[in-house]
Amino acid sequence: MKSNQTKSLYFKILFLSVCSLTLSCSWDRFVLSRVNESTTVKVKAAKELLDKDKITIVLTGTGSPLPSESIQNSTAIFVNGQFLLFDAGDGVAMAMEKLHLPVSEIGAVFITHFHSDHFADLGEVIDRSWLLGRQKPLTVHGPKGISDLVNGFLKSYQLEYHYRTKHHGEAVMPSQWKGAKTNEFSPKSDGSSKIIYEKDGVVVHGFFVNHEPVEPAVGYRVEYKGKSIVISGDTANSEFLKKQSFGADYLISEVMNKSMIAKVEKAYESIENPRLAKIMKDIQLYHIDATELGNLAEAAKVKTLVLTHMIPFVKGYVQTKAIYKDPIQKVFHGELIIAHDGKRIEIPLP
Ligand SMILES: [Zn+2]
Ligand SMILES: [Zn+2]
């Protein structure tokens, strides 16, 4: 009897050991295959985006400060092997990783103005690019105030930088590349542009836009091999934006349907919420209406107009058509793209 019990125990142990070994082997194989798969996907995505034969625009965030499902404002442009990021609203750092963008390759960030929906995730963009392997300097360009903003982020990340290098060592987390430098510039008040960035044929100009009382506020124009992409930043209808957008291949612009926001304002008044009614009234003063934008793009002979930072945020064919497509296409005859988070636009180069 005793011998039978011993035998049974022996078989149980043997059985459990075999199971555990099999499970452990299958987990090893699972982890290895996932690591391989994710590395392959990232390498392939980076190769595609850093391809020098085309420019790729990725709308990394199309939201605004108003509640919506979208990541706040941000646009990535890949040009001649360079990764340029325009604005860094809340959620963009994680969004870029989900989109498999080569975050460690970011070389320059351009901030349009100091509303938080355009810079809230800047600290994470700077930090994550380093954690994921950035081994080159990162410069954050922006109008007056950018140095204070970046230095504030760097101060709040001081301990984070220290712990990472101390734990992983200089070879893995070189302290030399942590943080970011700044390039603070003053846009010209006459509406003409200024070269902010120039590298291997890629030129980025900065120009003043009217987002009063937010000043400074700027837009950017990227040029390479005869192609031009304009980023409006946040702006009211502006002659400066029209001038800088003249003949642009792409104008990536904020937009508001003001008659719809006026209705929202009245609705808040009628339910006696004066605070939100006041906010809805105020925001109509410093954004560009859909019809105004259509007229601007038509007058500037813009080839493709890309809508981002849409206020209000709507989705669905019928709503998008009524609120943005119809008013714009009544006056603008170029191509219209209504962007969503992660939207990619490829521009072949001659
Ligand atoms: Zn904004
Ligand atoms: Zn703004």
| pLDDT tens digit at each of 350 positions of the chain | 556 666 777 777 766 666 666 667 788 888 888 888 888 888 898 999 999 999 999 999 999 988 888 999 999 999 999 999 999 999 999 999 999 999 999 999 999 999 999 999 999 999 999 999 999 999 999 999 999 999 999 999 999 999 999 999 999 999 999 999 999 999 888 889 999 999 999 999 999 999 999 999 999 999 999 999 999 999 999 999 999 999 999 999 999 999 999 999 999 999 999 999 999 999 999 999 999 999 999 999 999 999 999 999 998 889 999 999 999 999 999 999 999 999 999 999 98
Residue carrying structure tokens 């930072």:
309
Write the CA distances from 237 to 59, 289, 332, integer angstroms: 22, 7, 15
d(CA 307, CA 252): 6
Per-residue burial over 51-78, b if 16 or more Cβ lie within 10 Å, else e, is eeeebbbbbbbbbbbbebebbbbbbbbb
Which ligand is closest to the CA of 209, given by its number? 2
In 3D space, the residue among 110, 101, 162, 99 whose CA is nearest the CA of residue 138 turns out to be: 110
Range list of H helices, 142-210:
146-156, 158-168
Which ligand is closest to the CA of 73, given by its number? 1
Which ligand is closest to the CA of 282, given by its number? 2
In 3D space, the residue among 203, 207, 301 whose CA is nearest the CA of residue 246 turns out to be: 301
The upper half-sphere exposure of residue 207, i.e. CA atoms within 13 Å in the direction of its Cβ, equals: 22
Please report the pLDDT score of residue 67 as a whole number: 84
Which ligand is closest to the CA of 90, given by its number? 1
Other C-beta atoms closer than 10 Å to the C-beta of 32 total 10
Centre of ligand 1 from the C-alpha of residue 64, in Å: 5
Centre of ligand 2 from the C-alpha of residue 265, in Å: 19
In 3D space, the residue among 288, 214, 198, 201 whose CA is nearest the CA of residue 251 turns out to be: 288
Please report the pLDDT score of residue 38 as a whole number: 86
**What are the domain boundaries of the chain?**
1-49, 50-348
3-state secondary structure of 140: strand
Centre of ligand 1 from the C-alpha of residue 286, in Å: 10
d(CA 167, CA 96): 26
Which ligand is closest to the CA of 113, given by its number? 2
In 3D space, the residue among 132, 135, 79, 133 whose CA is nearest the CA of residue 110 turns out to be: 79
Task: Kindly report the CATH number that applies to the domain delimited by 50-348.
Answer: 3.60.15.10
d(CA 254, CA 262): 18
Phi-psi region of 331 (alpha: psi -120 to 50; beta: other; left: phi over 0): alpha
Centre of ligand 1 from the C-alpha of residue 181, in Å: 24
d(CA 69, CA 50): 29
Which residues surround the ion ligand 1 when the cut-off is CB under 5 Å? 115, 117, 234
Please report the pLDDT score of residue 310 as a whole number: 96
Other C-beta atoms closer than 10 Å to the C-beta of 117 total 22
Centre of ligand 2 from the C-alpha of residue 113, in Å: 7
Please report the pLDDT score of residue 4 as a whole number: 67
